[in-house]
Structure 1
């Protein structure tokens, strides 16, 4: 991981843990450069990421002020794994792997994604629990030429950590759609009685723009709130 991204994640964690309180200023660029033993340019890159993600506001002549009064519940933009989200919000969670096998490309995927392979797709279905209640069913489909296998013990933890740190893949960006849909029988089976669920569909790409994953997360409508930080761009 790039140095500036490491610093960004460290500063973000300190803000989330209230080491830097909302309304206070971060140390100066010079102080941060000394603290992290790096250049001011690297610090500027890390601060720009904090700015883009809504954790700070730069005040001319004063520095970077923390503007994050609370942690995000479920960011609409950004590419955050479930385990990263759970860890950042200090939640108690369990994951049950329901399926992990190679399947032929199915029609439901074709309706929502261009992910396909002549060798089928690696399919993983997981049930997510928070505080003893099922809240999410995740359906993940991976290109088998890029990701031939994902062990169950990995699927129970963080697939993205495995892909990035063990396989050396550079996960870059995703396109997402969020809808509210009538619950299916499968939703009711694994989430309990639901009239409607929130469905988040994502195509996920590597740094070289290869589409390697399609994921469909189906959420109980009462447990998750989707929020985002928006910043107006000025030309």
Structure 2
């Protein structure tokens, strides 16, 4: 019963943080005040606050209480391999995919290197702007080896290419290697995104493989600087 109580308090405080009742950089009520408010023990309040701290919503500071951290950014999983559709469903925010370009191309030197293809191969080039809450803040530049993805349509690209690959083509997407860095915004970024004055972009390069270790996709995902925090979970191993 006590465990349910601290989770109820955690979820209530989290809701108030997300809805701006407790704003970024402000202090939460003291432990004593929360004990009175929720009519529970100090231990239960501490468990709820510890959970908020572990998940990055507050910073507990000795002698100062709990400070609310800025949670206005969208969490982008660094180690996960998820489609934008899956990410949007998890965020529960109004979202939309705009297909800017869809064409079959002959690979240039960079694509040959990134996708391990030759002059004889053809590559699907898909450029999509991702809109969240009315702002275009991600530009996804996807390249698929036609050998593995024989056809693509605008409708598939507006919905989910991964769903099409897994459910229709029956291919198993297995793992990806990633590179993350900050780049200067390009003319293409300015053309397709709402950059809101930002001159730099966070770039995530993905090299995506099927379960037989075939490299079938190269992606360059370009994110507006202020809208994302890239999250991962790490546990130190003990010998």
Identify whether the pair has TM-score above 0.5, normalized to the shorter chain. Answer: yes
Matches within 5 A, 1:160-179: 160-179=162-181
Q: 2:217 matched to 1:203?
A: no
Tell me the residue number matched to 1:105. Answer: 107
Moved more, 223-232 or 210-219: 223-232
1:110 CA drift (Å): 4.7
| C-alpha distance in structure 2 between counterparts of 1:181 and 1:126, whole Å | 18
Secondary structure, in 3 states, of the residue corresponding to 2:103? strand
After superposition, the CA RMSD in angstroms is 2.7
Q: CA deviation at 1:188?
A: 1.0
The 3 A distance-change label for structure 1 pair 22 and 173 is farther
Give runs of aligned pairs for residues 75-154 of structure 1, distance below 5 A.
Answer: 75-110=77-112, 113-117=114-118, 118-154=120-156
Structure 1 residue runs of 5 or longer lacking an equivalent are 1-17, 25-65
Q: Partner residue of 2:223?
A: 219
SS of 2:128's equivalent in the other structure is: strand
CA deviation vs aligned residue, 1:125-157 (integer Å, no higher than 9, x gap)? 101101111101111000101101122111111
* TM-score for both structures, normalised by structure 1: 0.67
Residue 158 of structure 1: aligned partner: 160
The whole-number CA distance in structure 1 between the counterparts of 2:78 and 2:107 is 27
Q: CA deviation at 1:80?
A: 1.1
| Partner secondary structure for residue 77 of structure 1 | coil
Once the two structures are TM-superposed, the CA of residue 187 in structure 1 deviates from its matched residue by 0.7
Using the TM superposition, give the Cα deviation of residue 221 of structure 1 relative to its aligned residue in structure 2, in angstroms.
Answer: 0.6
- Using the alignment, how far apart are the partners of 1:128 and 1:185 within structure 2? 17
Return 5+ residue gaps in structure 2 as ranges.
11-50, 58-73
Aligned-partner Cα distance in 2 for 1:73–1:159: 21
Residue-pair matches, total: 175
Displacement of 1:107: 3.4
Partners of 1:189 and 1:149 lie apart in 2 by 27
Pick the structure with greater CA Rg.
Answer: 2
